[in-house]
Amino acid sequence: MKKIYLIFIVLIGISTSCKKNLEELNVDTKHPTEVPGNFLFANAQKALGDQVSSTNVNLNNWKLWAQYWTETTYTDESNYDVVTRDIASNTFQEYYRDNLADLKEAARIIGGEPTSGEDEEKAKENRLIIIDILTVYSYQRLVDMFGNIPYYEALDIENISPVYDDAEAIYKDLITRINSDIISLGSGGNSFGADDIYFSGNVAMWLKFANTLKVKLGITMATVDNGLAKSTVEAAFTGAFGEGEGCELEYLGGINSNQIYVDMIQSGRHDFVATSTITDMMNTLADPRLYSYFTLIDTSSNPEVTKLAYHGGEPGYSSSYTQFSHIPNTGVDAASAGGDRLDTDVEGSNVADATFPMVLLDYTELCFYLAEAAERGYSVGGSAEEWYTKGITASMNWWLSKHYGPGDVASMTADYLANTDVAYGSAAGDWREKIGNQSWLAFYYRGFIGYTSFRRLGYPVMKQVPSPYEGSGGTVPRRITYPIADQTLNAANYTQAASAIGGDLLKTKIFWDIGPVPSK
Amino acid sequence: MRKITILLTFLLFVGMQFANAQQRTISGKVTSAEDGTGIPGVSISVKGTVVGTVTDINGDFRMDIGDLHEILIFQYLGMKTQEVEIGSGTTFNVILETDALLMEEVVVTALGITREKKSLGYATQQVDGDDINTIKNDNFINNLQGKAAGVNIKVNNNLGGSTNVIIRGSSSLTGNNQALFVVDGVPISNNLVTESGQISGRNGYDFGNAASDIPASDIESVDILKGAAATALYGSRAANGVIMITTKKGSKGRGTKRWGVNLSTSATVGLMDKSTFPAYQKDYGAGYGWFYSAGPDYPGLERDYDINGDGELDLTVPTYEDASFGQKFDPGLMVYQYNSYDPASPKFKTATPWVAGENGADYFMQNTWSFTNSVSIFGGGEKATFRLGYSNTTATAMMVNGNLNNNSLDFSGSYEIVKGLTASAKLNYISMKGKGRNSTGYSDNILSSFRQWSQVNVDYKEQEALYNDNTRNITWNPNSPSDLAPAYWDNPYWARNQNYETDKRSRLLGYAMVDWEINDHFSLMGRFGFDTYSYLIEDRKAIGSASGEFGVGRNDVTSGYSRKTILYSETNTDFMARYHNNWEHFNISVLLGTNIRRQNNESIWESTQGGLIVPGLYSLGNSLDPQAPPVERKATIGVNGYFANVSVGFINQVYLDGSVRLDKSSTLPADNNTYVYPAISASWLWSELLKNSDWLQLGKLRAGYAQVGNDAPFAAINDTYSQNPSFGSVPLFSLPSTKNNINLKPERTSSIETGIEMTMFNSRFGFDIAYYKNNTTDQILPVAVSTATGYSYKYVNAGEIQNAGTELLIFGAPVVRNKFRWDITLNWAKNVNKVVSLDEGLENLQLASLQGGVSINARVGEPYGTIQGKDYVYNDAGQKIIGSDGYYLRSSTSDNVLGNINPDWMGGINNRFSFNHNWVVSFLVDWQQGGSIFSLDQYYGLGTGLYEETVYTNDLGNPVRNSLDDGGGLILDGVMNTGTEDEPVWEANTTRVHGDDYRVFGWSRNPNAAFIYSATYIKLREVVISYSLPSKMMANSKALHAVSFSLVGGNLWIISKDLPHADPEASQGAGNVQGWQSGVAPSMRTIGLTVNVQF
C-alpha cells in the first residue's frame, strides 16, 4: 500500500514543479520589448516611401486620379470608387499607424536616450527635429487628401475618439512647427547617420528639405491667406533645395524594391496603362520624357506595317494592356527582347525597375511652386518664367539623364523649351494653365503631387470618365472621403468633421481649393 | 441500432463465461416486456462474482453456477436491470422492462467522470459512436449534424475542411467560439490551422480542425455538454460547450475467448450536387461588352493581330477578359481563340466556331472517392484489458491531384495492479497527410474563377488535353496573342498539378492514468494527458503561373515556395479525490481536484521572395530575391485550476450539485490572474411521486446556474515591437498594430438553464426541453480603433453578448410490432443572440472586412455577425428608388445592416425503421431556417455574365442582351422621383437600361443588398440502409460473430434552398467570419458501402 501512496506523491510532485513558472509563460520571446528609436524612425521613412510609391489599388490610386494611368479591365478606381476597397482606411493606416505613430514613438525613445558630450546632445536634438519635419510632411499630405483630420488629439491610444481638427488651423500649426524646426536645425551637427535612409543623417540636407517643405506649405495657403503664404515662401526659398537636389528613397531591390515594381512587374499583373490625357499632351509637345514615362506600342491596323507610338487609353474605360502604352521596365521591355528600351538602359533607369527611386520632395517641385509664387507677386529671386524654365529643366535632367548622356539631355531640353507651346512667353493660356500643365507633366509618377497640382491650378484639362463614382460631382474628385471605419469607430467626430467641411463627399473641396473652378 | 448494441453487450459479458467451475446448472428465458419476444445478448451474472453468461438468439440461457446461490443479475443496455434470488431454483424466466431513462442512463461529464443522467441539473446529449461512423468522411464531426439539439454544425465542402461547431450560439466577440473537444477526459487541440487572412476571405487553404484527426472507428460515444453548468470543471475553455469523446476500450472476447477482432471496410463515392455548382448561360462569350476593336459588326471581338499569317488582321477573342459579357455566339462565325495562339495547340493558327464550350466547368469537377478500413483487436482477462486499433482513410478531392490520407494507430490498455488500483494508458499516433487541398477565398482559387471570372466559350476538356500533352500553362486567359502569359487565371489543370500544397501532421495523443479505489467510499485518480503534433505545410507556385498573393508578406508573385512548420503541445495533469456514500434516503459525493494545463504553440513560416529561379525546385534557397525574415511565433500558456464539486441526492428524487473552480492563468496580469467561479444545479424526478402511473415512466425538472471565467489570449498584456525586413543594413522596427493592456481582468460567462424531461406511454414517447440564457461580459477583445490613434486595435475588457434559446428533443416510437419498429427523433433549437454592449462609445465592432465592400460585425442591439454594406435607397413607402440613369440608387454609407449570420432556428428529424431485427432503414432530414449570406460569387458572377440568369427574354420579347436599339435592355423594378427633392412624387420606373452592359446585373451598378441571400436549407442529410446477417446464422458460426452491411447516402438531396448555384453551408472555413461566400466548393452527394465483421 505504501508503494501506491508513493506513486501519487511522486506524481503530485512532478506536477507542482511546473507551477512556479506560470508568470514566465506569457512572455513573447519572439519580439523585443525595447528597440533603439533610430530603427523606428527608419521604419517610418520606409513606410512613407512605400506608401508614396505604391500603386496597389487598395492603397494608392492617385496616379489614376491624376490621370497619368488608367486601369485595363477593372476600372472602378479609375472611376473614383474609393469605397469598395475602403482606400481611405488603408491610407489612414499607412500614414497614422505605420508612419506617424512610429515617428512619435521614435521621438519618445530618443528623447529618453542618455547622451554624453555636446556632440551627442546636439545629434539627439537634431534627430528629434528631423522627426518633427517628417511629421509635418506627412500631416500636410493627409490634410491635402481629406481636409479636416485628427491632429491635436491623434496618435494617443488613450483617446480612441480623436477630434477632427480644422484643416486650415492644422496648416498654420504645421507652418509654425516647420519654422521652429528650421531655426533649431540651423546650427549643424550630426543626426541619425546611416540609420536615416533618406539623407544618411545629413543635417544640411534635412534643413533644405524643411525649407522646401515650408515653401510647399506656404504656396498651398496662397488662396486663403496670401499674406502668410507670401511671408512663408519668401522666408524659405533661399534655404531650399538647389539644382539636382531632392529627397529620394533609393530602393535597394529584392525585398526592398520600389512598390511600383512589386505591384506591376514582380506580380506579373497588367493592370495599368497610360492615359490619353498624358500621352496626347506629350505627343503634341513632342516631349522627350515620353521615353522615360512609357513604352511604345504598335498602333498599326495592318500586320505588315509597324507603327510605333505612345498611345494612352481613355481614362476610366477598359483598355487592353497590349494595345496601349504602359510604364517601362528595363528587364521586361529590354531592347534585346524586342522591346523599345535602349540597350544602354541599366537596371534602375526605368520607372518600373526594382531600384527606381521614389521622390518625396525635390528641386523640380520647388521650381514650379516658385514660378507660381512669382506670378502671385512674391519676391522669390526670379521671375515666373525663370522658375518655370528651371522646373522643366530640372525634370528633364532627372528623367533623361537616366538614359542619355549630358549633351543629349541638354539638347533635348533646349529643343523642348524652344517649342512655342512650352516656352513660357508663347505657351497658351494664363499662368495657371502654363504652370499647371508643365508641373503636372513634371510630377509624373508622383500621383498625389500631380493630382494636388491639378486641384490647385485647375490644369491640365482632365477627361471625363464613364462612370464617375457617387459624390464625385461627375468630375475628378476634390478629395478622398473619410475612412468607412471611422464612420463607426469615431462616429461623433466623423459626423462633426463631415459637416464642418461641407459633407464627406468626393466633390467637397479642401479649404485651400478655392481658385477658379477648372474646366473638368 | 439495437442490433449493434446487442452485439456489443454480448462482447462485453460473454467472456465471463469461462470462469466457472462447478456442476449446478440453471436455465431460463429472458423476454421483453414490450413485445414478449426473447432478447438475445442479455448478460446474466451471479452478483459479486465473475460467473455469468448471456442469452442466445432466442433469449434462452443455461449456465453452471457451482455452489453459488445468492443473486442473479440480468442486465441489458436500455432495459431495467433485474436482480433475482437464486435460492434453490433451476429455471428463471425473466421479463425485462425498457428503462425509462433509456440508454443514456449514464453519461460522461467533465474530466471523464461518468454520472447518472437523472442526477444532472443540466442538459447533455449523447450520440452513439455508430451514429457518427455512418458516413465515412474525413471528419467525424460532420456526422453530428442534425443529431444534437443546439449544436450548430456547419460543414463546408473543402477537402478535409474545417467544421464550425457552435453550441448555443457565439458568446465571444473576437475569441474562439468553437466547442472544446475532449477525448477520454483529456482536452485535445481543435485548432484551426488556417491563416487569419484565409478565414477573412483572402486566398489560402482550409486545413481543417485538428480534432478531425480522431478516427470515427475508435469512437464509442460522444456526449455533448452544452451549458456552462456542465462544463464548469473544465474551466475557461469549456465556456463554448464540450464535445466529449469516449473511445473504445478493450474488453473480453466472444464466448470463452479472451479476445476479439473487428474489421470494417467501406468505400464511398461522392457525386457533385449540380444545384450547388454554377449553371452558365450559353449565348455569349468572352468580354465585357461591345467596345472592342473589331468594329460595329463584331463589337465584342478584336481585330488587332494577324494570327494565321495571311497579312490580314483577324478576328480574335479578348482572351484577357475573365468575363462572359462579350460577343454573341454564332456557330457560323469563325474566330481565333486562345487555342490558336500557341504552337503546341492542335488548333494553332486555326479559327474555330464561336460557340459555348462543349465541356463547361463541371467537366473539371470529378467524383470523389474515399476508402476507410479499420481493424481492431481487443481482449482482456479479469485484471487486464487492451485494445489495439488501426484505421486508415484515404479520400480524393473533387479536383485532380488532391487527396487526404489519415492513418491512426491507437492502443489503450488497463491493468489492475492490486485490488482497487488500476493503471491505464492510451496512446494514439495519427499521421495525416494532405495534398492539393482546394484553395479558398477570392483570388487564386479555381472555384472563384468558375463562379465569378470565366468565359463560357472555354472547353475544359481542351484545357485538360493542352496541359496533359505539354505540361505547360496553356491557359484560356492569355494576355494577348503576342503575350501568352496568363492575365488572371491559369489553365486549371496546370494550377492543380503544379501549384499544389502538401501538408503533413504527425500527432501523438493519449494519457496515462492511475485509479485507486481505496475503499467503497474513497478513490483517488491521477492522470497525465497529452496531445502533441508537428505540422508541416508547404505551398508551391510554379514558374509561369498567374500572379497571386503568396508567402510571407503576401506580395503578388508568379512563382514561389512557402513552408510553415507548427509545433504544438498540450499537457494536462489532473488529480482527483472522490468520496461518496449512500444512506437510505440520502447520498453524497464529493470531488476535489486540480488541473494543471500547459500549452505551447510554435510556428515558423518562411518563403521565397520575388519568385523562383530554377523551375520545379521547391526549396527556400531557390529564391529570386533574398528571403524576407521568417514569421516566428511562440506562444506558451499555462493555467492552474483547482476545483471542488459536491452532489447530494435525496430519496432518489432530488439532486443538488454545486461546484467551484479557481483558475490562475498565465495570460492575465500577475496581480489579477486568479479568478473563481461557481456553478449550482438541481434536478427533481417528480415522476417518483407517481411511481405507479402507467403512462409516465420519467418526469424530471432541472435548473442550474453557472459562471465561467476566462483569461486573455497569449501576450495581450505587455507591449512589444514588431520587426520588418531590414532596409539594407538598417533594421526596421515598428509599433505593433494592437495596443496591449496591462490592466486586463478575467472575462465572465454567466448562464442559467432550466429544462423538463419526460418519458411516457411505456417509453414510446418522450421529450426533453431546455431553456437557457448565457451572458458573457467583460470580454477581453482587441477592439478596432480609428487608426488615427496610431493603432488598429486595442485590448480592452468590454462588451457583453447574450445568447438565449430553447432546445427541444422529442422521441417517439409510433409503431412497435413484433418484428417491426419505427422510431422518430426530432431535434430543434432556437438561439437568439444579441450583442448587448461593446466598449464605451462603441456601437460596432468589425470582425472582418471582405471583398465586395461588405463586413461582418458585432453591432450593439443586433445579433452577433451582422453583414453590413451598401443598401438600396428606399422611399418612405419602402420602395427601392431608381436614379435618373435608370439604375438603383445606393446608400452613401457602407454600414447598413443587410443581414446576419445566425439562423432563426435549426432542426433535424430522423426516422428509423427496423425490421426483423436485422434490417434497419433510417433517414435524417436537417433543416436550417434563416441566416443570411452575402454571395460574392453572385456579386461578380452576375456582373461577368456567367450565370444563366443573365440571359433571358425581356418584357419586349427580345433577348435582354440585345442593344437598346435592338429592343434589348431591361427596366429595373423600383420607383423614380418625378417630383422635386422636397416634394417627391414616386412613379414606377420606366427607364430602360442596357442589358448588354456588364454593369447591370452585378457588382458595378447594384448595392451589396442585391446579393444577400437567405441561408435557409432543408437537406436530406443521411440515409442508411443496413443489414446484419441473422443472429441464428451467427450463433452457428464458430469464427464469425457478427457481419453487417450498410449502404449510406450523405447529402443526397437539398430539398430546399434560396441561394442559387451554391450550398448555403459552404464557406472558406470555420471561425467567426461566416455569411460570406466566394469560390466555395460545391457539395457532394455521397454513397458509401460499409462492411463490418466481428470475430
For residue range B413-436, what is the model confidence (pLDDT) as tens digits? 999 998 889 999 999 999 999 999
Dist. CA A215–CA A235, nearest whole Å: 8
Cα distances from B549 to residues A42, A354, B1071, in angstroms, run 26, 18, 22
Test the B interface: residue of A8, A30, A53 with most B CBs within 10 Å: A30
What confidence tier does B17 reach under pLDDT thresholds 50, 70, 90?
very low
Helices and strands in chain A, H and E counts? 19, 8
For residue range B941-956, what is the model confidence (pLDDT) as tens digits? 999 999 999 999 999 9
**DSSP conformation class of A97:** I
Mean local confidence (pLDDT), B904-925:
89
Dist. CA B864–CA B882, nearest whole Å: 32
For residue A440, report the phi and psi dihedrals to the nearest 5 degrees.
Answer: -60, -40
What confidence tier does B8 reach under pLDDT thresholds 50, 70, 90?
very low
pLDDT score recorded for residue A14: 60
- Minimal-distance CA residue of chain A relative to B740: A157
Test the A interface: residue of B570, B624, B787, B859 with most A CBs within 10 Å: B787
pLDDT score recorded for residue B98: 66
Tell me whether residues A31 and B313 touch, CB distance under 8 A. no
Mean pLDDT in chain A?
Answer: 92
What confidence tier does B9 reach under pLDDT thresholds 50, 70, 90?
very low
- Minimal-distance CA residue of chain B relative to A93: B787
Question: Residue B430's beta-bridge partner residues?
Answer: B408, B507
State the amino acid at position B397 in one-letter form: A
Tell me whether residues A257 and B482 touch, CB distance under 8 A. no
Chain B residues with beta carbon closer than 8 angstroms to that of A262: 555-556
Most confident of A109-113, B101-105, B253-257: A109-113
Chain B residues with beta carbon closer than 8 angstroms to that of A303: 305-306, 311-313
A155 touches chain B (CB under 8 A): yes
**DSSP conformation class of A35:** -
Dist. CA B454–CA B448, nearest whole Å: 9
Residue B732 pLDDT > 50:
yes
Mean local confidence (pLDDT), A408-414:
97
pTM attached to this predicted model: 0.86
CB-based contacts of B131, cutoff 8 Å, min separation 6: B143, B147
Comparing CB atoms, the residue among B487, B722, B725 nearest residue A31 is: B722
Residue pair B837/B777 in contact by the 8 Å Cβ criterion: no
Comparing CB atoms, the residue among A26, A155, A267 nearest residue B789 is: A155
Tell me whether residues B480 and A84 touch, CB distance under 8 A. no
Chain B residues with beta carbon closer than 8 angstroms to that of A28: 634-635, 714-715, 718, 720
Residue pair B907/B826 in contact by the 8 Å Cβ criterion: yes
Dist. CA B1092–CA A140, nearest whole Å: 75
Residue A91 pLDDT > 70:
yes
What confidence tier does A380 reach under pLDDT thresholds 50, 70, 90?
very high
- Minimal-distance CA residue of chain B relative to A84: B853
Tell me whether residues A488 and B791 touch, CB distance under 8 A. no
pLDDT score recorded for residue B252: 65
Tell me whether residues A321 and B546 touch, CB distance under 8 A. no
Tell me whether residues A96 and B842 touch, CB distance under 8 A. no
What confidence tier does B14 reach under pLDDT thresholds 50, 70, 90?
very low
Q: A398: which 3 cell numbers?
A: 532627372
Tell me whether residues B633 and A267 touch, CB distance under 8 A. no
Closest CA of chain A from B266, distance in Å: 43
Chain B residues with beta carbon closer than 8 angstroms to that of A161: 786, 841
Tell me whether residues A483 and B786 touch, CB distance under 8 A. yes
Q: Is A181 helix (H, G, I), strand (E, B) or coil?
A: helix
Torsion of CA B303, B304, B308, B311, to 10 degrees: 100
Output Rg (C-alpha) for chain A, integer angstroms. Answer: 26
pLDDT score recorded for residue B1035: 65
Task: Report residue B672 CA to chain centroid gap.
Answer: 36
Tell me whether residues A4 and B288 touch, CB distance under 8 A. no
For residue A24, report the phi and psi dihedrals to the nearest 5 degrees.
Answer: -70, -15
pLDDT score recorded for residue B10: 40
- Minimal-distance CA residue of chain A relative to B574: A15
Chain A residues with beta carbon closer than 8 angstroms to that of B843: 488, 491
Comparing CB atoms, the residue among B557, B791, B1003 nearest residue A157 is: B791
Dist. CA B871–CA B979, nearest whole Å: 23
Mean local confidence (pLDDT), A64-90:
91
State the amino acid at position A255 in one-letter form: I
Closest CA of chain A from B669, distance in Å: 9
Test the A interface: residue of B319, B596, B732, B796 with most A CBs within 10 Å: B732
Q: Between B982 and A374, name the one with better pLDDT.
A: A374
- Minimal-distance CA residue of chain B relative to A193: B730
Q: Between A269 and A430, name the one with better pLDDT.
A: A430
Helix-strand-coil split of chain B, %, nearest 5 = 10, 50, 40
Chain B residues with beta carbon closer than 8 angstroms to that of A263: 556
Residue pair B309/B324 in contact by the 8 Å Cβ criterion: no
What are the start-end ranges of the H helices in B137-287? 196-199, 228-231
Half-sphere CA count of A93, side-chain side, radius 13 A: 18
For residue range A470-488, what is the model confidence (pLDDT) as tens digits? 788 889 999 999 998 888 7
DSSP per residue, A241-273? --TT-EEEE---BTTB--HHHIIIIIT----EE
- ipTM, two decimals: 0.94
pLDDT score recorded for residue A430: 94
What confidence tier does B5 reach under pLDDT thresholds 50, 70, 90?
very low
For residue range B52-68, what is the model confidence (pLDDT) as tens digits? 777 777 788 888 777 76
pLDDT score recorded for residue B108: 66
For residue range B351-376, what is the model confidence (pLDDT) as tens digits? 999 999 999 999 999 999 999 999 99
Tell me whether residues A322 and B479 touch, CB distance under 8 A. yes
Q: A318: which 3 cell numbers?
A: 477598359
Residue B797 pLDDT > 50:
yes
Cβ-based burial of B928 (10 A; exposed 0-12, middle 13-18, buried ≥19) = buried
Q: Is A110 helix (H, G, I), strand (E, B) or coil?
A: helix
Residue B304 pLDDT > 90:
no
What confidence tier does A69 reach under pLDDT thresholds 50, 70, 90?
very high
Q: A64: which 3 cell numbers?
A: 489614376
- Minimal-distance CA residue of chain B relative to A323: B304
Dist. CA B450–CA B460, nearest whole Å: 11
Tell me whether residues B733 and A32 touch, CB distance under 8 A. yes
Closest CA of chain B from A214, distance in Å: 24
- Give the DSSP H/E element, type plus range, for residue B662: strand B654-665
Q: Which of residues 39-98 of A touch B (CB under 8 A)?
A: 39-40, 42-43, 46-47, 72-73, 76, 83-86, 89, 92-93, 96-98
Q: Is B186 helix (H, G, I), strand (E, B) or coil?
A: strand
Q: B63: which 3 cell numbers?
A: 449456465
Cα–Cα nearest to B216, from B148, B133, B135: B133
What confidence tier does B1067 reach under pLDDT thresholds 50, 70, 90?
confident
A428 touches chain B (CB under 8 A): no
pLDDT score recorded for residue A128: 97
Tell me whether residues A268 and B485 touch, CB distance under 8 A. yes
pLDDT score recorded for residue B229: 61
Dist. CA B680–CA B1074, nearest whole Å: 34
B80: alpha, beta or left? (left if phi > 0; alpha if psi -120 to 50): beta
A304 touches chain B (CB under 8 A): yes
CB pairs under 8 A between A and B: 287
pLDDT score recorded for residue B277: 96
Q: B60: which 3 cell numbers?
A: 434462452
Closest CA of chain A from B231, distance in Å: 23
pLDDT score recorded for residue B134: 65
For residue range B190-247, what is the model confidence (pLDDT) as tens digits? 777 666 667 777 778 888 878 888 888 888 888 888 876 656 677 777 878 888 888 8
Tell me whether residues B666 and A100 touch, CB distance under 8 A. no
Mean pLDDT in chain B?
Answer: 87
Comparing CB atoms, the residue among A93, A157, A323 nearest residue B739 is: A157
Residue B170 pLDDT > 80:
no
Residue B18 pLDDT > 50:
no
DSSP per residue, B490-540? --HHHHHHHS-EEEEEEEEEEEEEEEEE-SSSEEEEEEEEEEEEEEEEEEE
Residue pair B197/B1073 in contact by the 8 Å Cβ criterion: no
Chain A residues with beta carbon closer than 8 angstroms to that of B593: none
Residue A295 pLDDT > 50:
yes
Chain A residues with beta carbon closer than 8 angstroms to that of B596: 15-16, 18-19
For residue range A233-271, what is the model confidence (pLDDT) as tens digits? 999 999 999 999 999 999 999 889 999 999 888 888 889
pLDDT score recorded for residue A231: 96
Closest CA of chain B from A262, distance in Å: 7
Q: B2: which 3 cell numbers?
A: 439495437
Test the B interface: residue of A6, A28, A318, A324 with most B CBs within 10 Å: A28
Cα distances from B468 to residues B364, B474, B549, in angstroms, run 14, 10, 26
**DSSP conformation class of B358:** S
pLDDT score recorded for residue A518: 38
Residue pair B1067/B1080 in contact by the 8 Å Cβ criterion: yes
Residue B559 pLDDT > 80:
yes
Most confident of A14-18, A129-133, B907-911: A129-133
Residue A277 pLDDT > 80:
yes
Comparing CB atoms, the residue among A26, A269, A303 nearest residue B547 is: A269
3-state secondary structure B305-342: ECCCCCCCCEEECCCCCCCECCCECEEEEEEECHHHCC
Mean local confidence (pLDDT), A155-176:
96
pLDDT score recorded for residue B279: 96
What are the start-end ranges of the H helices in B153-263? 196-199, 228-231
Tell me whether residues B721 and A92 touch, CB distance under 8 A. no
Tell me whether residues B304 and A322 touch, CB distance under 8 A. yes
Peptide bond between residue A460 and the one before it cis (omega within 30 degrees of 0): yes
A2 touches chain B (CB under 8 A): no
Cα–Cα nearest to A182, from A218, A135, A242, A236: A236
pLDDT score recorded for residue A364: 97
For residue range B684-710, what is the model confidence (pLDDT) as tens digits? 988 888 877 778 888 899 999 988 888
Chain B residues with beta carbon closer than 8 angstroms to that of A25: 598, 636-638, 666
pLDDT score recorded for residue B4: 46
